[in-house]
Amino acid sequence: MRSLEDAQGEILAAMPRLAAGRVAISASLGRVTSEPVVAHEPIPSFDNSAMDGYAVIASDTESAPVDLVVNEDVAAGSVPEVRVTPGTATRIMTGAPMPEGADAVVKVEDTDLLERGWVTIRVSVEAGRNVRPVGGDVTPGDVIVASGVKLSARHVASLASIGIGPVVADLPTVAIMSTGDEIVDPDTEHLAPGTIRDSNRALLRSMLTELGVPVVDLGIIGDDPDDLRAAYAEAAANADVVVSTGGVSMGDYDYVKQILRELGSVEFWRVAMQPGKPFAFGTIDGVPLFGLPGNPVSTFVSFEQFVRPALLHMMGARNLFRTQIRGTMGEDVHTNEHKTVFLRVMLAHDTDGRFVAVRSGGQSSNVLSSLANAEAFAVVPVGVGSLSAGDDVTLEMFRWPEGRTLDT
Ligand code: AMP
Ligand code: MG
């Protein structure tokens, strides 16, 4: 049996890297940067006012209150024309360029507008007050976004501020299929005896969509050698990665293993993890193939532990795995000490603000209902075997709990 860590290491080492190219800012969300984005100009690109008020020479305000002559009005987007000289001030709006000569802004609340172009400055300010200096946010040469970053909305905003479309990795196209004679379309209203609806493909399609990668959906393939052969060949011809579910466990009567052996160079692994022990990995026509076990929660765990990191790695992402935090186990649990066990848990806050984890329902690998309500895996490492209420536990977050509601 392989350890989880060895399996992950082998998979990542085998994944090809995708090519990269420049994309528009508007198309960059969710993409992974292939090189750092470096500023070529300062932000702000000019000294400007942080307040609506009056641009002044700070030393003029030392003896405040003081009356100054108003030169002109400068709105955001316009350019000052008059130099501020001792005894004068310029009316200025937030974001408008600082006029020459001025070195501070007095906010409008600290002034009184007088008759005939005079203003009273009621407070004294030091040089630089309420001025946003050129380059105060970013200076040329600053790295705006590092290489290997999956771009969030906040990164896209930074890119927009500097006007640079980033160089990002191509997206891996992923072909998916479900295998098994018992599997029927989710839209099936009345299940024939012995059949079950295909939840795996819905899960895979949704997780891949969340990851932002294109999907080629080959549907459900029955346990027929010719159909399987044709489907795997089509998948490999049309995608960068193939993911199928079902047919890779020990006691199978079906043809998936036989066809994978015949078409590609695929190994059948037993990984010391639960759920998700049986697993196929290799290539078909040079295209990486993941054969995930059919039980829906095994499919989820295998996707999370192997497929998602592998796809991120292909894109050159630096962070491949979900965030793990320390929390508290809220109940006693006994697990298989020879495996890394992933318990589906729901989280509550204790009085110290730590997460307390309790199982979200049944833990068998076919029990999907407990997956939908879970927020994290409580990860019980090999060699532990049992946890008691109050013990520290590693929580691998696949969803952060919803925030506050209004009525608390
Ligand atoms: P297998 O890995 O093919 O031996 O399947 C293991 C279990 O997962 C069996 O109970 C299958 O019926 C079930 N299963 C396989 N594929 C799917 C699927 N696409 N959706 C839901 N359950 C599945
Ligand atoms: Mg099967």
Q: What is the pLDDT of residues 172-188, one digit of tens each?
A: 999 999 999 999 999 99
Q: How many CB atoms neighbour CB 408 within 10 A?
A: 4
Give the pLDDT of residue 333.
97
Supply the pTM of this predicted model. Answer: 0.94
Question: Looking at residue 351, what is its pLDDT?
Answer: 84
Residue 408: per-residue pLDDT: 55
Find the mean pLDDT for residues 231-250: 95
Does residue 148 have its Cβ closer than 6 Å to ligand 1?
A: no
Q: Determine the average pLDDT of the residues in 83-106.
A: 98
For range 124-134, the mean pLDDT: 98
Share of the chain above pLDDT 90, in %: 93
Lowest model confidence (mean pLDDT) among 158-162, 222-226, 402-406: 402-406
Distance 360 CA to ligand 2 centre (A): 27
What is the phi/psi pair of residue 20, to 5°?
A: -130, 160
Rg, C-alpha atoms of the chain: 30
Q: Which residues pair with 175 in a beta bridge?
A: 216, 242
Domains assigned to the chain: 4-18+170-314 (3.40.980.10), 20-43+136-169 (3.90.105.10), 48-132 (2.170.190.11), 321-404 (2.40.340.10)
Taking 80 as the threshold, does the pLDDT of residue 282 lie above it?
Answer: yes
Instruction: Please tell me if the CB atom of residue 291 comes closer than 6 angstroms to any atom of ligand 1.
Output: no
- How many whole angstroms separate alpha carbon 270 and alpha carbon 1? 5
Mean residue pLDDT across the chain: 96
The confidence score (pLDDT) of residue 403 equals 73
Buried b (16+ CB within 10 A) or exposed e, 352-365: eebbbbebbbebeb
Atom of ligand 1 nearest to the CA of 293: 2
The response to whether residue 275 sits with its C-beta less than 6 Å from ligand 1 reads: no
Ligand closest to Cα of 368 equals: 1
* Cα–Cα distance, 373 to 347 (Å, whole number): 10
Write the CA distances from 246 to 101, 170, 193, 223, 329, integer angstroms. Answer: 74, 29, 19, 10, 32
Instruction: Using a CB cutoff of 5 Å, list residues around ligand 2, an ion.
Output: 180, 246-247, 254
Q: Does residue 325 have a pLDDT over 90?
A: yes
Q: How far is CA 273 from CA 2, 18, 257, in A?
A: 9, 29, 21
d(CA 49, CA 132): 6
Give per-residue pLDDT as tens, 349-372. Answer: 888 889 999 999 999 999 999 999
* Token pair 């209150």: residue: 65
Q: Read off the pLDDT of residues 14-68 as tens digits, 9 standing for 90 and up.
A: 999 999 999 999 999 999 999 999 999 999 999 999 999 999 999 999 999 999 9
Is the shortest distance between the CB of 80 and ligand 1 below 6 Å? no
The three-state secondary structure class of 79 is coil
The pLDDT of residue 254? 72
Q: Which atom belonging to ligand 1 lies closest to the Cα atom of 179?
A: 16
Of 176, 177, 183, 252, the one to substitute when testing ligand 1's pocket (max ligand atoms within 8 A of C-beta) is 183
The answer to whether 333 touches 359, Cβ cutoff 8 Å, is: yes
pLDDT for 247 beyond 60: yes
Q: What is the mean pLDDT of residues 320-327?
A: 96
pLDDT band with cut points at 50, 70 and 90 for residue 252: low
Least confident piece of the model among 38-52, 156-170, 225-239, 340-354: 340-354
State the Cα torsion 115-117-121-127 to the nearest 10°. 180
Ligand nearest to the CA of 204: 1
The mean pLDDT value for 262-275 works out to: 94
The predicted structure's pLDDT at residue 380: 98
